[in-house]
Structure 1
Amino acid sequence: MTVVSLRRARVRYGPLEALHGVTLAAAGPGLTVLLGRNGSGRTTALRALAGTVPLSGGAVVWDGVDVTGVPAYERARRGLCLVPERQAVFGSLTVRENLALASPDPAAALDAYPLLRPLLERRAGTLSGGEQRVLAVSRALTARARVVLVDEPVQGMSPSVAARTYALLASLDACVVVAEQRFPPALRGRPAVVYELRRGAVVFAGEAGELDRPGGSPGPS
């Protein structure tokens, strides 16, 4: 089992504090969902786990080891894959070249997303927003990472492709953490741990099934 966690994590952007002592844990194989409106801190929490923003307080712990001071590139070498909301592909490279950065054989990515096959020789920067998102997620699926962090994975995708994307992420043999504004309908009925953030603090932590119970968090609306 792999576990990554934030422990009383604080992150500042200049004079503003984006995370106010956030504690959360994500275990894998399994799926963890971070919910929150824009400005809630969900993206910052992902970036803190990945090491792309420094903590001003608290710690990042991975399998019992404090990795707070470990740079992002070293966390990537150890098996962490971050798919940011923006600039998640290399626009000047072709789709085939983008896929090769994650795996020398694109077969698994093309099996997951056949729509990429006719786009292999296209430069990624010429793809639509949804197609770029598919490419970015497909790289994460084939990277064989131990920890996969994805910010708004299905942005711009059609409903059918979005549903397939969540099914693929949920089936990964990895610790998968996704950040969304609302709990994805495609994940209803699937086991998942949910954290809801508001204004940089955790206001709900529990199983996905608790969201539908009286008193459960309804998530952002």
Structure 2
Amino acid sequence: MTLISLRRAHVRYGPLEALHGLTLAAPGPGLTVLLGRNGSGRTTALRALAGTVPLCGGAVVWDGADVTGTPAYERARRGLVLVPERRAVFGTLTVRENLELAAPDAPDLARALDAYPALEPLLARRAGTLSGGEQRMLALTRALSARARVVLVDEPTQGMSPAVAARTYELLAGLDACVVVAEQRLPPALRAVPGVLAYELRRGALAFVGEAAELARPAGGQG
């Protein structure tokens, strides 16, 4: 089992503290969702796990080892993939070239196109000319093709239709990896899925932890 966690993590952007001693743990294989409004710290938590922002206190632990001082590129070499909300594709390269970069040792276009058939007629297009939803599909093929151990995705379904969003969460949940996604609200595709771990963040601190299905229940509801 893979486990990546933050332990009493503090992150500052200049005078602003974005994470206030946050502790969370994501097991794998499995899906963990970080929820919160803009400014809640969910994106910062992903970046801290990936090593793209430094901690000013606390630790990042991966499989029992402290990787707080391990640079982002080294975490990537060990099997961590981060798909950010923005600038997640190479806009000047074609869709095909982006797909080939996702797994340069063994490009598997068939696997990516099976996940998102809508990309096939776009293979010759430059990625920067795609719609927002198409770019998210292309960006996510990195996570689906890289055979990563840890996959971190910020707002994976932004710009997607409900059907494609549901398909995306089906794909992410099916990965043999520790998958952590950040969303503003609990995605409809996860509301009745058992075993999905949810953390709700508010102003850089933990407000809720439990199964995602618990958040979907009406207040006072049974079962």
Identify the residue that residue 96 of structure 2 maps to in structure 1.
96
Identify the residue that residue 83 of structure 1 maps to in structure 2.
83
Identify the residue that residue 165 of structure 1 maps to in structure 2.
168
Q: Which moved more, 1:94-103 or 1:52-61?
A: 94-103
CA distance in 2, matches of 1:111, 1:183: 26
Which digits, 9 at most, give the CA deviation of each residue in 1:2-56, with x for residues without a partner? 0000000000000000000000000000000000000000000000000000000
CA distance in 1, matches of 2:142, 2:75: 17
CA distance in 2, matches of 1:2, 1:57: 23
CA distance in 2, matches of 1:123, 1:3: 37
The alignment status of 1:208 with 2:203, answered yes or no, reads no
Structure 2 residue corresponding to 1:186, chosen from 184, 189, 193: 189
Letter in 2 for 1:200: G
Matches within 5 A, 1:37-76: 37-76=37-76
Q: Which moved more, 1:95-104 or 1:107-116?
A: 95-104
Letter in 2 for 1:94: T
Gaps in structure 1 of 5+ consecutive residues? 217-221
Which digits, 9 at most, give the CA deviation of each residue in 1:35-93, with x for residues without a partner? 00000000000000000000000000000000000000000000000000000000011
Runs of 4+ in structure 1 over 2 Å off: 213-216
CA distance in 2, matches of 1:45, 1:105: 31
Identity %: 81
1:214 Cα offset (Å): 3.8
Gaps in structure 2 of 5+ consecutive residues? none
SS class of match (2:90): coil
How many residues are aligned here? 216
Give the alignment's Cα RMSD to 1 decimal.
1.1
CA distance in 2, matches of 1:30, 1:155: 21
